[in-house]
Amino acid sequence: MRLINLIDNCGQLLKRIYNSSLSADRTTEQFFLQKRKLIGSKERKFISQAVFTTIRNMLLLKKFVDINGVCEKLQHPSVFNNAPEHSIYVLLQILLSEGFPVEFSDLDVSFCHYQSDGKNISVIESISCDLSIIKETEAFNNYLHNTLISELRAYFNLINESKNCATSNSLTNIELTAERYSFKPEFLSFIQKSIPTLDIANFAPAMNTPAATCLRVNTSKADRGNVIQSLNDNGIECYYGEISPACIVLPKRHQLTTLDMYRQGWFGIQDEASQLVGYAASPQSNDIVLDACAGAGGKALHIADLQCDSGTIICNDIVQRKLLEIGKRATLAGMHSIATSKKMPIANIVLVDAPCSGSGTLRRDPMKKYTITEKTIQKIASKQYDILCEYSKYVSDGGHLIYSTCSILPQENELIVQRFLNEHKEFAAEPLLPYFVRYGVHLDLGSNDFYITLYPHIHKTDGFFIARMQKIQ
């Protein structure tokens, strides 16, 4: 596929993501399904990388485009004709990644380089090769060669210099950090106001970097060291997770479902922070567990592993279609103690992994950083409290209630839990430390030791919240 056609496909996907109500991942999946006969696996990998990197830096790119009138100067009826504006954003991201490989290391642009005399040539030269067979592209080509690159370099260098001059969590620092890492200033200000101790200067770049793939080893079938060895034997770089004793981290994405060890149920894909919910629950072997917001069942599978498949785990979810994968995943993992049911049991442990803003998962779904607002958080928090209250009814006397979200915001986390405890005197906060220590999980919990918030710039995980409470007999 020619480079200009590759970029045009990137632009089409980017436009579709911005116009879709579905998640970026789901939209991408549908796009590739429709074009499966036209786009090969290597092209799909690059298109995904390029589009998601562009989304992460969209505000940075858009400001440059607006200042310099780039879209008007790169108009041509035969170049990027399916989604011209969005294709130009992708082109600019590719050029930034080529010119500043350290700052934009998440996009490997070597795939864009043509060869001449046995050597790779630049992205601009490669595009010129494509333009040479298209009529009346001289103005387009001249702007690329003579103006665009120098303007783009000068713009990014200025942004970087301005950001580096800021030294505190002042309003100016927030604005400069927001500009460099493509956050809305009001969004970062809202986060800073909500979490005054948060180091925005380190939080923002961490949240604007792609998340690594995390595996959770199914310890009933495999040993973590053996899984790492097998991954290495398959040419897959990986290392031990720093927090979860079952976690393996893969810095790069790989096709894992074709591996024999995946088909044998040796591991599942689950972020390291999410794995900690199982340890926070700390189930006894015969406990009845209600996973009230189970989704695809990742946490239920972990608990079944911790129980050696000897307990009873009932999965439910407000969105019933989310539960469809649980049976397949349980069979793959060799677990027989997991079932789905609309009928709620009285349980020793109730997990409430509440629907949330996803503010802790911006590394995986960067579109969210443009859509989360203070108003949406207020609406979500109200629903979260109602969900927690509803499912708390199914905790047995002396049983345990685990509340978690993939959000970093107190409005969805500790404020919900504190309100719940104030209004439900039959529940009490329960320290997490003894249960984490039981599994060799070592974290600094601070004074409020019954909950913890994890951050990507501190814990190298998704942003995540976990709290543990007990129903007093």
Vertex 280: Cα angle to 279 and 286 (nearest 5): 70
Task: Let me know whether 154 and 62 are in one domain.
Answer: yes
Whether residue 25 is found in the same domain as residue 156: yes
Specify whether 134 is located in the same domain as 253.
no
Distance CA 268, CA 249 (A): 12
Range of the domain at 382: 272-471
Do 177 and 120 share a domain, yes or no? no
Q: Is 261 left (phi over 0), alpha (psi -120 to 50) or beta?
A: alpha
Give catalytic residues, as residue numbers. Answer: 406
Q: Which two tokens stand for residue 2?
A: 């020619």
Are residues 344 and 463 both part of a single domain? yes
Domain end point (choices 207, 226, 261): 207
Place of tokens 């080893």: 217
Answer yes or no: do 225 and 283 share one domain.
no
Distances (CA, A) of 447 to 131, 307, 425, 452: 63, 30, 21, 10
> Kind of pairing, strands 427-429 and 395-405?
unpaired
Quote the pTM value: 0.93
Distance CA 161, CA 296 (A): 45
For 410, the token pair is 């107190």
- Cα angle 252, 254, 260 (rounded to 5 degrees) comes to 140
| DSSP, res 147 | I
CATH number of the domain residue 130 falls in: 1.10.940
| Residue among 350, 347, 218, 217 at smallest CA distance from 280 | 350
> Quick one: 312 and 442 in the same domain?
yes
Sheet holding 247-250, edge to edge: 239-240, 247-250, 213-217, 267-269
Domain boundary among 132, 163, 194: 163
| CA–CA gap between residue 56 and residue 202 (Å, rounded) | 16
- Are residue 322 and residue 447 in the same domain, yes or no? yes
Note whether 128 and 254 are same-domain residues: no
Distance in angstroms (rounded) separating the CA atoms of residues 184 and 202: 16
- Cα angle, residue 323 at apex, residues 322 and 326 outer, rounded to 5°: 125
Count: domains in the chain:
4
Instruction: For the chain, 473 residues long, give each residue's pLDDT as a single digit of tens.
Output: 899 999 999 999 999 999 999 999 999 999 999 998 889 989 999 999 999 999 999 999 999 999 999 999 988 888 888 899 999 999 999 999 999 999 999 999 999 999 888 888 999 999 989 888 888 888 898 998 889 999 999 999 988 887 777 555 555 788 999 999 999 999 999 999 999 999 999 999 999 999 999 999 999 999 999 999 999 999 999 999 999 999 999 998 888 999 999 999 999 999 999 999 999 999 999 999 999 999 999 999 999 999 999 999 999 998 888 888 899 999 999 999 999 998 999 999 999 999 999 999 999 999 999 999 999 999 999 999 999 999 999 999 999 999 999 999 999 999 999 999 999 999 999 999 999 999 999 998 877 799 999 999 999 999 999 999 999 97
Residue 293, phi then psi, degrees to nearest 5: -125, 65
